Structure 1
Amino acid sequence: MKLFKKILFILPLAGLLFTSCSKWTDAELKEIDHIGGFNTMDNEKSEAYYKDLRAWKKTAENYGRPVSFGWFSNWAPSGVVRKGYLTAVPDSIDIISMWSGAPGRYEITEAQKKDKEFVQKKKGIKLLEVSLLSHLGKGRTPKSVYEEVEKQAEEEGWSDSKLNLARKHARWDFWGFKSHDLNNKEELESALAQFAHALCDSLYTSDWDGFDIDWEPGAGFNDADGTINYSTFTFLVKEMGKYIGPKSDPEGKGHKLFCIDGEIGGLPAELDEYVDYWIRQAYGQSNPSFNTPGNKPEKLIITENFESSATWGGQLLRQAAAMPSEGYKGGVGAYRFDNDYSNSPDYKWMRQAIQINQEVFNKWKAEQGQEDSKNL
């Protein structure tokens, strides 16, 4: 067995290393030996630590505090190098969007299952599926749908364009859009309703914690087919909102998260009540905008791009410190934040950002208290 060391945001507990909930985001470095396949504590004594960690995670519910967020790429929990492990991320991370895939679309390995369940059940981290929802059926259409046309194409020597058209129509037929007429609103919406149900149903079947729609029609779509545009996207979000997000939980008993990132500026305000968090790709911006479709900054997560700036942190720390003119932001994070693992200490910039984000929120809270006392 190998001994691993981990840098944690520590909440001291009696008999361990811990003191109070306010210390969760202290960037104090503690070295803890870890035995076995996980880069984390997992024994009877440490369960008290994880119990308090999960309790602290719940303080983010109903926007009680800002969250920490990131898109995780290259999920590969194997070997001594810990970069591909979810269990290696800082304990204070709240939400991870699985950019490397897996949720709802692929079978996962036993190692991934073990890695996933530990961070969900022990650490209270929410794991989301993320997808560029550019067309009807994306990520949920069985491969068998295409087998017949692909066989025919091979036998008859079809051109690529003819095969691609046949694949598209086969996919549309599978979801019930059999007229192939984009002006047939009723039939298209019926098909999108079935698609929305399938997108959400698999989250429950495979035990994922929510969905993150990457909405980038102006930049990120290279496989659009006309079935999802601004109009039909609004319909799709509302349909998904029947199963996940705040609208699916009128009694406040708990629900799977519903997030939208990307080009959120042009989306209608009516979608705000369906969404838990809006995520702004404020890459390279030291003074990001806090506007959202619902003008509620506490629902906005600001993110930096660690695909290109993980080594030096980009503007992440400035984004963590930034606050709207009124209220507070919903959180801070980074795209491909797992690249921060390679810094020293591991996750150097994310750890600092989480601490700064909490500090400016605590300062804002204190100022609100001072204002309240003046008005008494």
Structure 2
Amino acid sequence: MKIKIFFSVFVLSIITLSLTSCDNDVETIEIQDLYKYDSQYFKNLREFKNSKHEISYAYYASWANTQNPTSWGERFLGLPDSLDIVNLWIDIPTKESYPTAYADMVYCQTMKGTRFVMHGDASNYNHYFWDRVWNEDKQEFEYVYETKEDATTGKTEFVLDENGKKKHKMVKTVSGNEESLRSYARWAVDTLVQCGLDGVDFDYEGWGDADMGIVGNECNKYLGPQGKWSEKLFIVDFFGGSPSTCDDYCDYFIRQAYSWQVGFSTHSGGRPEDRTVLCESTGAESQDGGVNGAMVREYARFEPASGKKGGFGAYYLDYNYKSQSGIPYKEFREAIQIQNPALNK
């Protein structure tokens, strides 16, 4: 039986000016807003996203263009309702940094069941961040402070900054250094929890397999089915090689199956097919500029020889907002429908 999904028809604002020959008449401005739905619609939408199904995934950056967006192409509210997961490419919205985007994100999480994940970099090392550890009694992370041994007394004391405050311990990721990698994982988990996000997607393009496995093992204490926050996601995306050390930890692997580079390619890179999301490039680098969705519909339609795939996705979905059809995200919306056809009653 096919799972029912629900679409929001995205309606552009239409301004109708009523002009008459009388100079004293006031122009009538009529604005058509987004369609509004009742509570049952949103309940059904959330239940669908919580069900077992092939997901839709999108890297989306235009939300960070400005604090005061004027286009629905820069709003989370303008994305297709049935989109499962949004990768917050570029930045993280907070009340202070992007108040409109933050409010939109919370609304989409609460009403639509859309999940938002941050970007974690696994393509370079030498990240600098404050160390933190998990406090089991308080059930929260707490920062680690730098210490030194007093040469006279031999006692350990805190290092103070120029203002006389305890100095945070700074950590740098180093390949092969297990503690720095575990600390990096804790930084990612604490960041997404503090910011109210639903998970992290590590961009695996350059790290070694063993290093990614260490981060996955540490994240696994907090994220995913075995973690403290079982509803939060641990995701790894890749283009070339894939991390074989993370199969036990990952909710999803995002295979960057960019047709403009490698043609239509559906192999999972050796990762479990039922958790592999085939992600097409719909950005400016793709052959048609991404405007018309490239091959998202073909990837949505594909099914492995046995079982199901994890889903399909788009990198820089932003460009498909400008679909030449005149319908925002037309091809991506069609791909969602192809992968999980709605029931017609």
Q: Would you call these one fold, judging by a TM-score over 0.5?
A: yes
- Cα drift, residue 74 of structure 1: 2.1
Give the Cα–Cα distance (whole angstroms) in 2 for the partners of residues 57 and 23 of structure 1.
10
CA distance in 2, matches of 1:138, 1:281: 24
| Residue of structure 2 in register with 1:349 after alignment | 331
Measured against aligned partners, the alpha-carbon deviations of 1:113-132 in whole angstroms (never above 9, x if no partner) come to: 21111111111100000132
Alignment of 1:1-376 (within 5 A): 22-24=3-5, 40=34, 46-59=38-51, 64-75=52-63, 76=66, 78-102=68-92, 108-135=97-124, 138=127, 140=129, 174-175=170-171, 188-217=177-206, 229-248=208-227, 254-263=230-239, 265-268=241-244, 270-284=245-259, 287-294=264-271, 296-308=272-284, 309-343=289-323, 344-359=326-341
Q: Distance in 2 between matches of 1:72 and 1:272?
A: 26
How far apart, CA to CA, are the structure 2 residues paired with 1:30 and 1:207? 27
**1:290 alignment partner AA:** H
CA 1:55–1:129 in structure 2 vs 1: closer, same or farther (change >3 Å)? same
CA distance in 2, matches of 1:233, 1:242: 15
> In structure 2, what is the Cα distance between the partners aligned to 1:353 and 1:209?
24
Give the alignment's Cα RMSD to 1 decimal: 3.4
**Aligned-pair identity (%):** 25
Deviates more, 1:46-55 or 1:327-336: 46-55
| Shift in alpha-carbon separation, 1:243–1:112, aligned structure 2, 3 A | same
Seen in structure 2, the aligned counterparts of structure 1 residues 40 and 189 have a Cα distance that, compared at 3 Å, is farther
1:153-176 per-residue CA deviation (whole Å, 9 max, x = no partner) reads xxxxxxxxxxxxxxxxxxxx7227
- Return the letter of the residue paired with 2:171: W
> Structure 1 residue 141: deviation in Å?
5.3
What TM-score does the superposition give when structure 1 sets the normalisation length? 0.65
Gaps of 5+ in 1: 1-20, 143-172, 218-227, 363-376
| TM-score in terms of structure 2 length | 0.71
Once residues 298 and 263 of structure 2 are traced to their aligned partners in structure 1, the CA distance between those partners, rounded to angstroms, is: 6
More strand per residue: 2
Rg bigger for which structure? 2
Which AA in structure 2 matches 1:65?
H
Structure 2 letter corresponding to 1:211 = V
Q: Distance in 1 between matches of 2:217 and 2:43?
A: 35
Query: Residue 264 of structure 1: CA displacement?
Result: 6.1
Higher helix share: 1
CA contact (8 A) 1:230 1:267 kept: yes
Per the alignment, do residues 312 and 352 of structure 1 end up closer, same or farther by CA in structure 2, a change over 3 Å counting?
same
Instruction: Flag structure 2 segments of 5+ consecutive residues without an equivalent.
Output: 15-32, 132-168
Query: How many residues are matched?
Result: 280
User: Does the Cα contact within 8 Å between 2:68 and 2:100 map onto a contact in 1?
Assistant: yes
